[in-house]
Chains A and B, each alone.
Chain A
């Protein structure tokens, strides 16, 4: 039978994967909520760009001298609201990232503590339902890196936006979406460990 060290490591991994599954759900739903916000950000930028390209004094709106400034104010106010909502979403993403990082370090710590009693066979042995400890630790590490990178990319995207750079703002929804299409290692991992998670 398995050594107690392997069993306790398996338990730690199982716990982490359960957490990872929840994290993935939260992450997905937060990203789903970000979609419409990014759309309206791009839309507001389009409106601002249109306002800049139109010479108000040559249009029927010339009777309203303050119009341009006032509209610009309202547009930037609306943009502000959207950005602060996005900021809240980013905090949710950050907390997902942090919780996965914590899971990973918990497993790594467990491994360090037991590493003396584990040999190569113990960490590489696998069965049809249970992947090897080494593989699972690697996947967990990959998942953690995935969240870390994704968070960083999205955060950078938002931080490089400038209020007066409309083209940057207008392309933001597209660039945000393109980050989605990158392959998702977490879903793969969760599939690979689904039998392991069910076994007890």
Chain B
């Protein structure tokens, strides 16, 4: 999704010059918002991954140190224990720092998904309105190229479902990543964060279809 932010972010100027109004206007703006929110999510995901990686690495070096301490304490008990303690405190502070960073990222992700939820609700509102205006069949002439309001709503719903599930996963990772019992589990958390298993590959396709349909992308 990189490098395409310039295409649509100018929606305020679109708003002035294009002649689309009413439900079509609203839908078109929603599509642009979807695009921007998904870009924002990607950026947050990168930031969060950096924080999570340092958390896992810090934890790993911490447990390594514990092992070393244990083995050395048996042979030379009082060997620079003060220095080791100071080092431990510094590492703990750093770990806390990274956890706070990750918490901030997840908080922002919650905000993003909340906004996505609003987009979906507004899309559903448009469909309800059309049912009210044109009966259960909906409008006779499509708003844009070919999609019905139901199709528009369905794709919003699909995207929202994917992102809210992914957000749940991220929240779980946030709580657990600093407590991973084994290095392998830590790695699994990281690869979950990076690869976003609940965002299917065709979510990107759905977004593009939405943008194409609403005229943001040239047909």
Which residues of chain A have a CB within 8 Å of any CB of chain B? Answer: 46-47, 49-51, 53-54, 56, 59-61, 63-64, 66-67, 70-71, 73-75, 77-78
Pick from B169, B187, B195: contact of A64, CB below 8 A: B169
B169 contacts A54, C-beta separation under 8 Å:
no
Stretch in B18-26, B127-135, B196-204 touching the partner: B196-204
Minimum CB–CB distance from B41 to chain A (whole Å) comes to: 16
Closest to B196 in A: A74
Residues of B contacting A49 with CB < 8 Å? 184
A54 contacts B185, C-beta separation under 8 Å:
yes
Pick from A46, A50, A63, A73: contact of B197, CB below 8 A: A73
Question: Complex Cα distance A63/B197, Å?
Answer: 14
For the residues of A in contact with B, the DSSP-based class is helix
Residues of B contacting A54 with CB < 8 Å? 182, 184-185, 188
Question: 7 nearest interchain CB pairs?
Answer: A70-B197, A74-B195, A50-B187, A47-B191, A50-B184, A71-B197, A60-B176
A75 contacts B187, C-beta separation under 8 Å:
no
B187 contacts A71, C-beta separation under 8 Å:
no
Question: Complex Cα distance A77/B198, Å?
Answer: 14
B195 contacts A71, C-beta separation under 8 Å:
yes
Q: Mark B169-198, 1 if CB is under 8 A from A, else 0.
A: 100100110000011110110111001111
Pick from A59, A63, A75: contact of B195, CB below 8 A: A75
B184 contacts A53, C-beta separation under 8 Å:
yes
For the residues of B in contact with A, the DSSP-based class is helix
Contacts across chains A and B counted by CB atoms under 8 Å: 57
A74 contacts B197, C-beta separation under 8 Å:
yes
- In chain B between 65 and 117, which residues have their CB closer than 8 angstroms to a CB of chain A? none
Minimum CB–CB distance from B168 to chain A (whole Å) comes to: 8
Which residues of chain B have a CB within 8 Å of any CB of chain A? Answer: 168-169, 172, 175-176, 182-185, 187-188, 190-192, 195-198, 201
Question: Complex Cα distance A64/B201, Å?
Answer: 18
Question: Complex Cα distance A61/B190, Å?
Answer: 13
Question: Complex Cα distance A130/B92, Å?
Answer: 68
Question: Complex Cα distance A119/B182, Å?
Answer: 74
Question: Complex Cα distance A51/B185, Å?
Answer: 8
Residues of A contacting B192 with CB < 8 Å? 61, 67, 71
Q: What are 10 A-B pairs at a CB distance below 8 A? A: A50-B191, A59-B176, A59-B188, A61-B172, A61-B176, A61-B192, A64-B172, A66-B197, A70-B198, A75-B191
